Amino acid sequence: MAAVVAATALKGRGARNARVLRGILSGATANKASQNRTRALQSHSSPECKEEPEPLSPELEYIPRKRGKNPMKAVGLAWAIGFPCGILLFILTKREVDKNRLKQMKARQNMRASNTGEYSLYTRTWLGYLFYRQQLRRARNRYPKGHSKTQPRLFNGVKVLPIPVLSDNYSYLIIDTQAGLAVAVDPSDPRAVQASIEKEGVTLVAILCTHKHWDHSGGNRDLSRRHRDCRVYGSPQDGIPYLTHPLCHQDVVSVGRLQIRALATPGHTQGHLVYLLDGEPYKGPSCLFSGDLLFLSGCGRTFEGTAETMLSSLDTVLGLGDDTLLWPGHEYAEENLGFAGVVEPENLARERKMQWVQRQRMERRSTCPSTLGEERSYNPFLRTHCLALQEALGPGPGPTGDEGCSRAQLLEELRRLKDTHKSK
């Protein structure tokens, strides 16, 4: 039909029209070929007419295209897994830390409550005096000649005589040998102190009491009754038995050549005093009778104060000269140096002192006096300013950067560790 139309056009319209009709004809033919190919493709895709694809030529090899690796995929996977795990670990760790802190706080509260109850019974009721009397009887039976062998010190007319009493206490006689006058410090066993007074052939004219505890003041009554002119000195804040002459900070007691200054050092008790014998009148070293404030490589427990109070009292002692002799209220040297070795194991001064103390104690010899210069080198309670000790145990400065606050916290931690060490 298309050919007939084209022939007719050629005859009637001329050559120009014939070219147009040829284009139309070629377009129609192309469309028809396209339709035929579409039908063929449809017939091949249908299930009924599905044919196997022609195999590739043996010379050709099919290589599938590899997709590039995404470097962020591993990062994203790690983040997706690690982030929630990290949050969970943080929560569990914080919870465990909080539990430990709570346990420590409860333990401290229970210890303080227990100590407070026992301490109140000891200091405020007649049970404390009965306990002291029981201690006195047992010590006299166990140590008829005293718990340690002591050696007096003589300085140009002034004699310091340690007297071992109870199971580990020390009383002292300070004697002006020229005048024959004596001062007793913390005479807890009146029988032992009286025996020393009679042996030395002196007159007791004064009793210096560092604090009210019975193991330091238990002999006040018997000795003051036996020696009628004897005066009993101490702090009015402490309730010292048979006190006759109250003292305040920096007050001086004069007996013959003896010039003894009272220094207020609260903490162990509210009215605790230490007594400093001035060495200038007899051209010798000064002597500090420290009661329960300071021991060889140790310090007393804080019963009636805070760590800040005790730190201030220890700083008062630190202000004295290095050659000042320390005469403590107890024989705690070996135990205290053992604890000092725990907190400062590389302290060579402590190691040397420990070796000397162990030799002394093997023969039951007294370890006093030491000097304040020695104590500064190994006593951890006097070394709260040392950076090594602060880094090892201290909580660091407080929010205000207050060094005093940080030292008080370190002192409190040392005291807690010492109490734990003692109980083992």
Catalytic member of 176, 189, 238, 268: 268
Verify whether residue 211 is a known catalytic residue.
yes
Give the residues across from 252 on adjacent strands: 261
Q: What tokens appear for 40 in the block?
A: 């063929």
Verify whether residue 227 is a known catalytic residue.
no
Q: What are the CA-CA distances from residue 115 to residues 214, 269, 302, 310, 370 (Å)?
A: 17, 14, 11, 18, 30
Run of H or E residues at 126: helix 126-142
Q: What are the CA-CA distances from residue 32 to residues 3, 39, 163, 254 (Å)?
A: 16, 11, 134, 139
Verify whether residue 268 is a known catalytic residue.
yes
Give the residues across from 181 on adjacent strands: 176, 203
Verify whether residue 229 is a known catalytic residue.
no
Verify whether residue 330 is a known catalytic residue.
yes
Catalytic member of 147, 227, 272, 330: 330
Q: What tokens appear for 398 in the block?
A: 């407080």
Classify residue 155 by burial, with Cβ atoms within 10 Å: 0-12, 13-18, 19+. middle
Give me the sign of the Cα torsion angle 293, 284, 369, 122.
negative
Contact by Cβ (8 Å): 264, 210: no
Instruction: Please give the torsion angle defined by the CA atoms of residues 213, 214, 219 and 220, in that order, rounded to the nearest 10 degrees.
Output: 40
Catalytic member of 176, 186, 213, 238: 213
CA–CA dist 109, 113 (Å, integer) = 6
Catalytic member of 147, 216, 227, 272: 216
Q: What is the DSSP string of 252-288?
A: EEEETTEEEEEEE--SSSTT-EEEEE-STTTTS--EE
Q: What tokens appear for 180 in the block?
A: 């024959």
Helix (H, G, I), strand (E, B) or coil at 206: strand
Catalytic member of 211, 227, 238, 272: 211
- In 10 A of CB 52, how many CB atoms? 5
For the CA atoms of the chain, what is the radius of gyration? 48
CA–CA dist 124, 92 (Å, integer) = 47
Helix (H, G, I), strand (E, B) or coil at 142: helix
Verify whether residue 385 is a known catalytic residue.
no
User: Residue 204: which region, alpha, beta or left (left: phi > 0; alpha: psi -120 to 50)?
Assistant: beta
Verify whether residue 216 is a known catalytic residue.
yes
Catalytic member of 215, 227, 238, 272: 215
Active site residues: 211, 213, 215-216, 268, 292, 330
